[in-house]
Amino acid sequence: MLKEINNKTQKRFFALAAMVLIAANTFAQGNGMAGINDATSMVSSYFDPITKLIYAIGAVLGLVGGVKVYSKFQSGDPDTSKTAASWFGGCIFLIVTATILRSFFL
C-alpha cells in the first residue's frame, strides 16, 4: 500500500515538474533575444568604469608599495628585493588583468 502511494506521488511530482518546465520554456521564447542583447549592452557598459577603477587601485597599491619598499630600504632590511618584487608584481597583475578582460569581452 505504501509503495503504491509513493509511486503515485512520484508520478504526480514528475508530471508537475514537466508541466512547469514546458510552461517556462513557452514564456522564455517570447522576448529572449531582446533580453540577451540588453544584458550584453549593460555588461559591456560597465567595462570602462571598472577598468578605470582597477587602474586607480593599481596606482594606489603602487604608491603604498613604493613607500613600504623605501622604508625597508632605509632601515637596511635584507628582504627589500622580495618586497619590491611582490608589490611590483601585484600592480602589474592588476593592470594586465584589466587589459586582458577588456580585450576579451569588448
Q: What is the mean pLDDT of residues 2-24?
A: 68
pLDDT at 35 over 90: no
The domain segmentation of the chain, as residue ranges, is 1-30, 43-105
Residue that is written with C-alpha cell 550584453 in the block: 40
Radius of gyration of the chain (CA): 28
Closest CA to 99 of 47, 57, 61, 46: 47
Question: CB-based contacts of 55: which residues, under 8 Å, 6+ apart?
Answer: 94, 95, 98
Q: Tens digit of pLDDT for each residue in 64-79?
A: 999 999 999 899 888 8
Indicate the pTM of the whole model.
0.58
- Residues 81 and 89: their CA atoms lie apart, in Å, by 12
